[in-house]
Structure 1
Amino acid sequence: MSSLSKLAYYLLHNHSRIAANLVEQGIKEMNIKIPDEEKDHAVCVYETFFQFMGDSLEQETNEIPSKLIEWSKKNAEGQIFSGGKISEIIIRYPVTRKIFADLSTQWAEEFSLTNKESIKILQKMNAMLDVSEVETVFAFEKLTKQMKKDYQKELDTLSNPIVPLKEGIAVLPLVGTIDSYRVNHLMEKVIPEIAHLNLNYVIVDFSGVQTFDETTASYLQQIGSVLRLLGIRTILTGISPQLAQIAVAIGAEFHDVTSYTNVKQALENI
């Protein structure tokens, strides 16, 4: 039996012990505490890892275990939902690589591996760690992006409510920075809702707006045009001197739209 075959046999018959020792050593060297459930899951994954190593040494395959990839994705998911940082996972990889290097040296001596065979084993282990690290980061970024998108949708729904004030009149309070994304939301979600409320006036209140740009001003003018086509008159309120200066500076034209200091004043003059 060749040296690699002996090592393959050893890995296939001792994967559980090797995996448990690796996880315990990693936790000790990093001086961290992790839940028992997470530790058990890590041991389970590394059992699969070393089983795969044993099989790959015999079959000369470079396939990456799917269980390792799924584990990497779950690590990212766990960090996101716990409010953790991706760096808290990534910093574990150098320590794991060091342990792998030590194992490679140990196996080389124990099974009389050549330098070429020892390097080959270390390359296999590092290749799998590379895939795990990349999958973890990709999954973290993807989930973070999706969560931000969901949060933005929820925020838009809450921040752009149509508030009926009296028959035929409603107010649309705008809050924060009015960017092209927010204006698109108004066009696609809020305006259709306004169209079904049988309104004569919509008071667009800018009291909570911080700033907007030339593109946003153009979109807002389009919204006013759409409302006019629906037979709804638009009234602006709460435009601060700072916003008024921005509007003038970027050439925004609201000459055909009535403006008042606040919603109360607007109601008094309708």
Structure 2
Amino acid sequence: MKREKSEQLFKFILKEAPAMTEEWLKTRTEELGSLYSKHASKETENKLKEQNIAFIQTIAETLVAESDKVENHLKKWSIDIARDRAVHEVPLYEIIRQFKVFRHIFCSRIELFTQQTKLEITLKDVCAWNQHFHSTFDNMIERLSKEYDRVTLNQLNAQREMIQELSAPVIPVSKEIGVLPLIGEIDTYRAKIILESVLEQASRLRLTHLFIDISGVPIVDTMVAYQLFKVVDSAKLLGIETIISGIRPEIAQTVVKLGIDFSKVKTEHSLAKALEERGFRIFEEPQQEAT
């Protein structure tokens, strides 16, 4: 008898799935730019309908299907939704809020089933179903949150790698020579990125000479100088000769006041001069004669 009750509830929930989904969609508010906004496109709305009906089917089949099959369906739905929401940059709190809203709608259908069915439903049956579905909802939220966190972390790591490349781009100017133009303030985090990224890029490009231009760096303090020394020393171990250019007069004065020793570091007044000394001629555009 218990199995029959669960099967009847399962069929009832599947039948109610479209109506439950419409009821959920009506709870949407005016959230500009949100995937869950009531002003979202028709295409987005249709996708939400399709996803929610799939969710209802997945939840409902936990009443009657084998545990292995249910486990696979729960996992697949959670992963698919987590990836979709992460790609659309939907905040996790918004996703969990929708679970909260729909949980009430889902539980109301259990009550409606008990009112409409001809089967004899006991309080014990209702409590067991409620406990079962609440546990399943919590399980889905946990699965989705875990996958969402994994996807967003991968995205952040990819973005961080891109930022590292942009923060310290080594530009190859010949087969074995590269230029690293540094622009803007250098804090501890960026200094670490520069050290790690530059060495990786220089090694990958098989450079023999690396020109570091700091004319765009407003302040060179002890920390910045220390990191530059680390780059020079580390590059030397890789067989790469490093030349620093663009040390402006005010920076030179600061370096002297700080007692920083640049005597063992090869320096040039400008990047153009440094390249020219190594055989790269920098031609100026000819001035037009006055007519």
- Give TM class, smaller chain: 0.7 to 0.9
Q: How far apart, in 2, do the equivalents of 1:105 and 1:150 lie?
A: 47
SS of alignment partner, residue 113 of structure 1: coil
Partner residue in 2 for 1:179: 191
Structure with more helix by fraction:
1
Of 9, 28, 31, the match for 1:30: 28
Counterpart contact for 1:163–1:170, Cα < 8 Å: yes
Q: How far apart, in 1, do the equivalents of 2:98 and 2:3 lie?
A: 30
Q: How far apart, in 2, do the equivalents of 1:15 and 1:243 lie?
A: 76
Counterpart contact for 1:7–1:54, Cα < 8 Å: no
Amino acid at match of 2:14: S
Give the C-alpha shift of residue 204 in structure 1. Answer: 0.6
Pair 210,164 (structure 1): closer, same or farther in 2 beyond 3 Å: same
Partner residue in 1 for 2:32: none
Q: Deviations over 1:53-99 (max 9, x none)?
A: 2458xxxx799542233222222211222233333322201111111
| 1:212-227 equivalence runs, <5 A | 218=226, 220-227=228-235
Give the C-alpha shift of residue 257 in structure 1. Answer: 1.4
- Are 2:147 and 1:139 equivalent residues in the alignment? yes
- 23-32 vs 253-262, which moves further: 253-262
Partner residue in 2 for 1:48: 58
| 1:89-168 equivalence runs, <5 A | 89-110=95-116, 111-158=119-166, 159-164=168-173
- 100-109 vs 225-234, which moves further: 225-234
Counterpart contact for 2:173–2:179, Cα < 8 Å: yes
Q: How far apart, in 1, do the equivalents of 2:244 and 2:228 lie?
A: 11
Q: How far apart, in 2, do the equivalents of 1:156 and 1:129 lie?
A: 40
Q: How far apart, in 1, do the equivalents of 2:155 and 2:25 lie?
A: 30
Give the C-alpha shift of residue 264 in structure 1. Answer: 2.9
Q: How far apart, in 2, do the equivalents of 1:28 and 1:212 lie?
A: 59
Give the C-alpha shift of residue 132 in structure 1. Answer: 1.4
Pair 252,49 (structure 1): closer, same or farther in 2 beyond 3 Å: farther
Q: How far apart, in 2, do the equivalents of 1:214 and 1:109 lie?
A: 77
SS of alignment partner, residue 121 of structure 2: coil
Q: Percent identity?
A: 21
- Are 2:25 and 1:13 equivalent residues in the alignment? no
- Number of residue pairs matched by the alignment: 258
Q: Deviations over 1:198-240 (max 9, x none)?
A: 44xx321234558899777555423312444566542223457
Aligned Cα root-mean-square deviation (Å): 3.8
Counterpart contact for 1:12–1:55, Cα < 8 Å: no
Pair 253,140 (structure 1): closer, same or farther in 2 beyond 3 Å: farther
Of 257, 266, 271, the match for 1:263: 271
- 156-165 vs 69-78, which moves further: 156-165
Of 202, 207, 223, the match for 1:191: 202
Amino acid at match of 2:23: Q
SS of alignment partner, residue 243 of structure 2: strand
Pair 114,237 (structure 1): closer, same or farther in 2 beyond 3 Å: farther
Pair 145,109 (structure 1): closer, same or farther in 2 beyond 3 Å: same
Counterpart contact for 1:7–1:107, Cα < 8 Å: no
- 204-213 vs 97-106, which moves further: 204-213
Pair 9,228 (structure 1): closer, same or farther in 2 beyond 3 Å: closer
SS of alignment partner, residue 211 of structure 2: strand
SS of alignment partner, residue 26 of structure 2: helix
- 142-151 vs 40-49, which moves further: 40-49
Counterpart contact for 1:49–1:65, Cα < 8 Å: no
Q: Give the structure-2-normalised TM-score.
A: 0.70
Q: Deviations over 1:121-176 (max 9, x none)?
A: 111111111121122222222111111222233344454223327x9754222356
Pair 14,168 (structure 1): closer, same or farther in 2 beyond 3 Å: closer
Structure with more strand by fraction:
1
Pair 248,29 (structure 1): closer, same or farther in 2 beyond 3 Å: farther
